[in-house]
Chains A and B, each alone.
Chain A
């Protein structure tokens, strides 16, 4: 990846810089003359971050105060139980517990099934001998990434619906029985399977781009050495390709684990229907129903804060775990 070349260049320049630095460092005016324009460039993004990312953090206070969005939260009274009223209320709510369980279940399944899929696809594409077929396949495979979830839900209905879907029409013709049906979208467990499968269909092709880029960084001499040692195709994949992909895999896994409690909104909303609400209500849908439709802003801010805190804990934990494995984490 070009990141590793950049990193080695940075390491080299840092080494020379530390050797050249005097004990007190540069004087302020020399430093500013040298690097002043860089700071100027940084002003605009820093302003953006402060305005759009850090200032709204002050409103997290809403989670600990009474439900009132007309006044800013520092002017509102504290909630009961030292401000933890909303957290207690959320955890006593059956709907929230079910939404939490659904979120964890769907995210874990997504991780287990959807994380290896781009890796396997990248390994598969890497083994193709015909260059032009490889490029054509790659382009076609990452086309579904560009469709939004609303469109994909329409496609899913066209294909998987109980009576009108393409798959069920062919199934009915095959079985000769007009009542035979594969309930992809109407039974809860089948729905979860379709949800995960559609997620893989959409994102696997796009994910292969990163892995294929990382694969080009593995030196071909390693492959040749393995071939000379008598390694067949799968052995080479196991001993050369996968260890070469290890840093990329670990970084992407850390980033994925950081959002283990997060949930996207349009995916479950678009794909769900009234028959599967037991399995399809995730935290983001719960927040939408309770917060925006139900007006309980403090409760849902508390839920969101809980999500973020757990996400940060997972991120830090995964990062330190990766560092213990010897890879560089993301911070």
Chain B
């Protein structure tokens, strides 16, 4: 397809806007990830932005060794799976009969 110059400029602008949106969506999460993996002296001085400084996995060790947190994680996973199965089953068995127009009261 032969594109005019205007269309090509429009394409580039759209790609730039999409990159900006991706940046906005990802930066908070990457920042938190970097902070969780940094050592505390850099954190206090607020120097960690996108890349962890002073590799430190102590936070993860603390969380994963505490039985309460692990139990909560396990319970969350169980709840999610159970609820998804239950609500999906309910939705399907409720909606299939409703697709029949001849069904009285449907």
Contact = CB atoms under 8 A, between A and B. Distances in A.
A233 interface: yes
A125 B18 contact: yes
Interface in B77-103: 90, 93-94, 96-97, 99-103
B31 A129 contact: no
Contacts of B32: 154-155, 158
Given A35-B100, A39-B97, A140 B22 contact: yes
A44 B97 CA distance: 12
B31 A158 contact: yes
Interface in A54-106: none
A185 interface: no
A266 interface: no
B72 interface: no
Q: How would you classify the secondary structure of chain A's contact residues: helix, strand, loop or mixed?
A: helix
Contact of A45 (B15, B46, B49, B90): B90
Given A129-B11, A159-B31, A140 B97 contact: no
B18 A38 contact: no
B2 interface: no
Given A124-B14, A205-B25, A42 B94 contact: yes
B29 A124 contact: no
Contacts of B25: 140-141, 143-144, 201, 205
Nearest to A35: B103
Contacts of A39: 97
A48 B90 contact: yes
Interface string A119-140: 0010011011110010001001
A144 B32 CA distance: 14
Contacts of B14: 124, 127-128
A158 B43 CA distance: 12
Contact of B46 (A17, A121, A169): A169
A75 to B, nearest CB: 34
Interface centre among A127, A154, A169, A205 (most CB of B within 10 A): A127
Interface of A: 6, 10, 13-14, 17, 31, 35, 38-39, 41-42, 44-45, 48, 121, 124-125, 127-130, 133, 137, 140-141, 143-144, 154-155, 158-159, 164, 166, 169, 201, 205, 232-233
Given A143-B25, A154-B32, 16 more contacts: A10-B99, A31-B104, A35-B100, A35-B102, A124-B18, A127-B11, A128-B14, A129-B11, A141-B21, A141-B22, A141-B25, A155-B32, A166-B31, A169-B46, A205-B25, A233-B7
